[in-house]
Structure 1
Amino acid sequence: MKRTVLKFGGSSVASIDKIKDIANYLSRRVKDGEQLIVVVSAMGKTTDELLAHVHSITDSPNEQDLAMLLTTGEQQTISYLSISMNDRDIKAKPLTGFQAGIETVGHHLKSKISKVNTKLFDHLFLTYDIIIVAGFQGFNDENEITTLGRGGSDTTAVALAAALQCPCEIYTDVTGVYSIDPRIYPEAKRLKVVSYEEMMEMSALGAGVLTSRSIEIAKNYNIPIYLGKTLSQEKGTWIMPTIEMLEKKAVTGVAVDKDMIHITLNHPAYYPQLLDDIFINLEQEEINVDMISQIANNEGLQLSFTMKDTEEHQIQQIFKRLRQDYPELYFKIEDQFTKVSVIGSGMRDMTGVASKVFRTLIEANIPFYQVTTSEISISYVVDAKYGERAARLLCERFEL
């Protein structure tokens, strides 16, 4: 019997009426002979509302308490959807991440999945038609509730598909993967197929459609992902291994990351131990940094990098600790920048892409600061006020 993992995001399950519509859709698929594992997010803005309540209590909540609270949003959704399915005479079983056997390692609020109990699903399908799993959550080796961080429900869905070796369909409020966010560039083209590596790069560089962690799992286990709009007949996008095309485009897409901060560190003397301490702290807090540049000489140390703005509180705590050992350490956090990136696997075989991007920005009088490159991407930090304009110009230059 065909088995499929489906995931529905928060906007898709934002109301009881939407949940009922999804239940009708799933009922038809079950009656057609499919075994379905359905992963759901919290309804609409539930997680934001829970966080707002917490911030009205304290700015420094205990991570274990916060993980316990945030997982309640998804538990509401699995309950409502299971009730709707059973009301349609479809045998449904709702499971929390703990009940689904999703084991994790790492911090309570951004854990990584280490193992999934696949035997549980085989056993449940002897009795039930559909299994509904709370996304975004699991448990650690001390049986404590954990969460998977931003976009964690995507990670849950793809990890389950990988463990069960079946396809994964992710449904949201967009009709697939576009060359750029259509809200920035309305002429953006929807991509029928995109490779794992391009999608990972786009996600890591600011495209908010899927998390790079979920794509990495899909790539490692060769799991095809279909991304489409919830309950829409319009075709979406397949994310799968690199396919050979007669003619590859140099650039597949442009990503814009507004949710970033720029960090600058200065110390009047250069101490290798200071650098070591900085990166040890970043590793311990599991903070990913990007676009690193360093100047170290007899005049001291200057280090700068970019990172996600959601981790600003953690980075400030790190700097406060470092100042205890390095009182002269100066740091500045700036949020008036945007990262604009061009991505495309065709860059490997084609020259002149970087030159085109540089000339596009220079001709438009858009100043850029840090620049980083990978095999299939080039990223620029620009002033936030120029971010969307730069992205549109690049889309026009590369005919996206």
Structure 2
Amino acid sequence: MKFGGTSVGSLERVRGCAEIVAAECARGDQVAVVVSAMAGETDRLLTLADNLGFGLGDEETDVILTAGEQISAALMAMALTEQDLSSRSFLGWQARIRTEGPPGAARISGLDASPIKHAMSDGWVPVMAGFQGASGDERLRTLGRGGTDLSAVALAAALKGACDIYTDVDGVFTTDPRIEPKARRIEKISYDEMLELAAQGAKVLQTRSAEFAKARGVPLRVLSSFAEPGQSEGTKIMQAEEIAERRIVSGIAYARDQARIALRGLNDNPGAAATVFAGLAEADIGIDMIVQSPSREAGLSNLEFTIDRRDLDKALVRIGESEARDVSSETGLAKVSVVGLGLNRRADVARILYGALHEKKIGIRTVSTSEIKISVLIDNDEVENAVRALHAAYGLDNA
């Protein structure tokens, strides 16, 4: 059972989560708990490091950041003790989570979990601090954005159990209810659909944790910690084959503040584009919506792609080293994505998308597709209109 930052955002909320754990234990299940830092705590700790000239990616910053989850784990163990449960907190290294990779963005390379297993077999409810582990040289490492979800899924895999992700919403919805009040909770969704929704901007679950769960076959649920114990219905995430009813479209996701970069007159050789993307990869800049087309001049091509706006300046420095004749960029853009298992080879899906956006006079800058996703790049200020239009056009208002 994993509880996020908003779920443990105050002592009252910690006690509420402890009641949910106690109810689960009362049903006879063996439970391990993973917690995030209290809401806002990671930002506060990062500000302390920033004031001394250190930031993400520094070893000492990682030591500071792990303190947030450490506090939450201890408080949760205390709250469980109030519920007459025997409980004990564990830091990531105590649970034997091994990591590789740089500070601030490490990856889990191994999880022994024997201390957690022993605690459970002795009747304890272990509470593990998420978001952290230890490197090969025994230095603390954090797992990057959404790292506590990843910690929880990895622990569930090591224990050969299921993983319940408790957050501030009752599951995965067809789109953001703050934009479209008619959004509906999805009862069941495939790992692949969840991966696409998360990658395209849905914030309910982190991409790496969904990938890990799929690879290890960990059953996932997303539930609300703000409901009364046992009252959250949530969303089950599973293999596509286990879902009897296949929807054409499952949800609409969006991501604001995108930037588009265009390189004109790039050498028409795969090696030239590879060099561009290698530089961006070294800077840990995520790439999306790649479009390559021939230039009017023989032997040259044009290359466009999108990135998060916050990475634009860093990306332009890297791209400045390319041999493109012209490099330009554009901001104020957003990505809206239609996701569903039924999209594959359905021409009417594209027809509906273009028709719905045309009716609202929303211009499309770039389009990218996969077997279960169509994404369009539009102006930032058209996001809400686009989400509502597509949600209605695909019949999700009545899902």
Instruction: Using structure 2 for the length normalisation, give the TM-score.
Output: 0.89
SS in 2 for 1:33: coil
Q: Which of 121, 129, 136 is 1:134 aligned to?
A: 129
Partner of 1:359: 355
- AA at the equivalent of 2:343: M
> How many angstroms does 1:13 deviate by?
0.4
> How many angstroms does 1:98 deviate by?
1.5
Partner of 1:3: none
Cα distance in 2, alignment partners of residues 164 and 285 from structure 1: 35
Checking the alignment, whether the CA contact within 8 Å between 1:35 and 1:129 is kept in structure 2 is: no
Cα distance in 1, alignment partners of residues 237 and 275 from structure 2: 39
> How many angstroms does 1:346 deviate by?
1.1
SS in 2 for 1:336: strand
Cα distance in 2, alignment partners of residues 395 and 7 from structure 1: 30
Mark the CA change 1:394 to 1:292 in structure 2 (over 3 Å): closer, same or farther.
same
Cα distance in 2, alignment partners of residues 122 and 269 from structure 1: 56
> How many angstroms does 1:205 deviate by?
0.8
1:174 aligned to 2:169? Answer: yes
Within a 5 Å distance, the mapping from 1:257-336 to structure 2 comes to 257-266=255-264, 274-295=272-293, 297=295, 298=297, 302-309=302-309, 311-312=311-312, 314-315=314-315, 318-319=318-319, 323=321, 331-336=327-332
Checking the alignment, whether the CA contact within 8 Å between 1:154 and 1:170 is kept in structure 2 is: yes
Cα distance in 2, alignment partners of residues 317 and 75 from structure 1: 38
SS in 1 for 2:202: coil
Cα distance in 2, alignment partners of residues 126 and 371 from structure 1: 53
SS in 2 for 1:219: helix
Within a 5 Å distance, the mapping from 1:85-96 to structure 2 comes to 85-96=80-91
Matched residues, number: 391
Q: Which of 22, 26, 40 is 1:27 aligned to?
A: 22
- AA at the equivalent of 1:107: P
Checking the alignment, whether the CA contact within 8 Å between 1:182 and 1:188 is kept in structure 2 is: yes
282-291 or 185-194, which deviates more: 282-291
> How many angstroms does 1:61 deviate by?
5.7
> How many angstroms does 1:128 deviate by?
4.9
- AA at the equivalent of 2:370: S
Q: Runs of 5+ in structure 2 lacking a partner?
A: none
Cα distance in 1, alignment partners of residues 244 and 86 from structure 2: 48
- AA at the equivalent of 1:275: A
Cα distance in 2, alignment partners of residues 158 and 352 from structure 1: 37
> How many angstroms does 1:74 deviate by?
0.9
Q: What is the CA RMSD across the aligned residues, in angstroms?
A: 2.6
- AA at the equivalent of 1:308: D
> How many angstroms does 1:51 deviate by?
2.8
Instruction: Using structure 1 for the length normalisation, give the TM-score.
Output: 0.89
Partner of 1:229: 224
Cα distance in 1, alignment partners of residues 72 and 192 from structure 2: 32
SS in 1 for 2:306: strand
Cα distance in 1, alignment partners of residues 187 and 266 from structure 2: 53
Partner of 2:338: 342
Superposed CA deviations along residues 174-213 of structure 1, whole A, max 9, x for unmatched, are: 0111110101110011111111111111111111110121
Cα distance in 2, alignment partners of residues 20 and 301 from structure 1: 60
Partner of 1:254: 252
> How many angstroms does 1:77 deviate by?
0.6
Superposed CA deviations along residues 256-276 of structure 1, whole A, max 9, x for unmatched, are: 111533333456777866533
Q: Which of 10, 25, 31 is 1:36 aligned to?
A: 31
> How many angstroms does 1:294 deviate by?
2.9
Partner of 1:185: 180
Superposed CA deviations along residues 264-304 of structure 1, whole A, max 9, x for unmatched, are: 34567778665333222233344331111234644866432
Mark the CA change 1:57 to 1:274 in structure 2 (over 3 Å): closer, same or farther.
farther
1:71 aligned to 2:69? Answer: no
Within a 5 Å distance, the mapping from 1:362-381 to structure 2 comes to 362-381=358-377
10-19 or 156-165, which deviates more: 156-165
Question: Percent sequence identity over matched residues?
Answer: 35
- AA at the equivalent of 1:115: G
Partner of 1:99: 94
